[in-house]
Amino acid sequence: MNGFLFDQRNQKHANMSSKTDDNGKEIPEKLYDSSTDKTYRRMRFFGKGSFGKCYEIVDIATNEVYAGKIISKKLLMEYNQKGKMTQEITIHRSLNHVNIVKFHDFFEDNYNIYIVLELCKKRSMMELHKRRKSITEYECRYYIYQIIQGVKYLHNNRIIHRDLKLDNLFLSDMLYVKIGDFGLATRIEYEGERKKTLCGTPNYIAPEILNKKGHSYEVDIWSIGCIMYTLLVGQPPFETKSLKDTYSKIKKCDYQVPSCLHKSAADMVISMLQSNPSRRPTIDQLLRFEFLSSSPVPKFLPSSCLAMAPRIEAKEIDHDVPNQKMALIEINLVQYNDTRLEYTFLKTNLHDAITASAYFYQDNGDFRSDLKGLYQQLTTLIETKPRILPGNLDDENTDPAAQPLVWISKWLDYSDKYGFGYQLCDESIGVMFNDTTKLILLPNQINVHFIDKDGKETYMTNTNYCKTLEKKMKLLSYFKRYMTEHLVKAGANNVNPETDQISRMPHLHSWLHTTCAVVMQLTNGTVQFNFSDHIKIILCPRMSAVTYMDGKENFRTYRFLTIIQHGCCKDLYQKINYAQEKLGEMLEKLFF
């Protein structure tokens, strides 16, 4: 990129607009690249960054879908970031690796720079972290191996990323890791060069950057260590309530490795998180650590892992044994009491009040904690008395990344005889029987999970199952047939059917009828209210967000903090108030 052109070539499209950019100008609905004669249509809003916004964009001629970063030139000039943007584009466009977000093109007009990138529909690993907190070592091995491969490619090309973090690691449809955002990346010009720029993100920044002693490739190794720790433990190794304290802990290399981590995982983390950069392994040496070399790295993960732990570790599946049956187990799930905050703290600060309650999800089986955390979040929101708006907030105040991955698209109450049936947005079918046992038919319409009264899970298929379950399997098929033939699906989600043996879907934990709604709580903490006026709200405590689905099945997802700051429409506010009241009643019944 040879500077900014500031030409008039896109001005003929300026009247085709509906969104305002950071220059106060309208973002065109059609984005025209005169150098390639391509026109893109701006579609869904994805998110906002420091200097611009991100949208889904579609090549009108080919219907190919991309992510489009629209960056304000005015803000770049105001903050003297022109050179930084030039360097980011120069570096990123030179890269080509399966584990790096593909750079397709860039162009500009008088007001914005438009960067066309590979679209990663499963968002970033930060959303995975928020929904899951800690993941299994089996999954961590999968993600870390791919991160290392991407960084190895960068280092081989003399590039340091310098901002590796969960927010900058994106996931494709197949859950392949894609390293993105090269805004802080730099190129090593000669052997032994040490960079002096103070840059990075607090929870991931290496001590030599803070100490201003000069840094090189080793800062990426440190960041990978922070990422691996965060994925396995559920929180960053040096995280505190203040930036000063975090930096102090980093400089002292002051962190604790939980004893529950297996030695191979702990050894690898410790090797990367060393104050002296020369003692850290190189990117090639990381691949030889026991954590990655002693067990096969998974070749894939099902998308269900975004919401739930996989069913079992792959090494426990013997693919040569036909019709294998085995108990479903949770792997590597750890409760960390030090992150369970007292509710008295939640009222001291609005941001803390909303975000801190997300820490109540370490104990995956404690559904009372799920409800309690969500109730506190809604209570905090209501106590701030947000503004009531005449209509919905605009798209740029929504947060599509916080939209629930799984929700109930159909339900059927036949509890007067058998139980409560439902279909999830991914086509899986479940029944909660009156005796509190459950059956779940996975999206591939083959694998079936049975949960007994004590919560023990058993795996089977729709043709090979325990004969004592024959009646319930028939009832499951009846519920499925009725919902398929007679009920309209709400908010269809385009999720590909799972065909593997390790998928594990969230399922219905509890439900109840109220005077004007059906309330359904899933095992991943999500609580859904289907109101009699056909409005639906889906409350996601781990993302601290509400999804508002109107009668036309339009989705709008708002962070609770956004509603506190900007308000919401009257109908949504009333629904949130109702939900908070009913959650309070549910908690009273659970605790008293």
Length of the chain (residues): 592
| Residue 117 Cα distances to 49, 67, 81, 89, 106, angstroms | 15, 5, 20, 11, 9
| Residue 263 Cα distances to 269, 289, 291, angstroms | 10, 11, 9
Q: What is the arrangement of strands in the sheet containing 457-461, beginning at the earlier edge strand?
A: 327-328, 457-461, 447-451, 438-441, 429-433, 419-424, 408-414
Q: CA 251 to CA 563: how far, in whole Å?
A: 38
Note whether 234 and 362 are within 8 A (CB): yes
| Residue 98 Cα distances to 102, 175, 430, 463, 528, angstroms | 8, 12, 37, 39, 37
What 3-state class would DSSP assign to 437? coil
| Residue 554 Cα distances to 491, 536, 544, 549, angstroms | 8, 10, 20, 5
Note whether 125 and 177 are within 8 A (CB): yes
163 catalytic? Reply is yes
Q: Give the active site residue among 163, 181, 220, 399.
A: 163
Q: CA 138 to CA 144: how far, in whole Å?
A: 10
- Write the DSSP assignment of 16-61 as a string of letters: SEEEE-TTSSEEESEEEETTTTEEEEEEEEEEE-SSEEEEEEEETT
Q: Strand pairing of 568-569 and 388-389?
A: parallel
Q: CA 585 to CA 278: how far, in whole Å?
A: 58
- Among all residues, which ones are annotated catalytic? 163
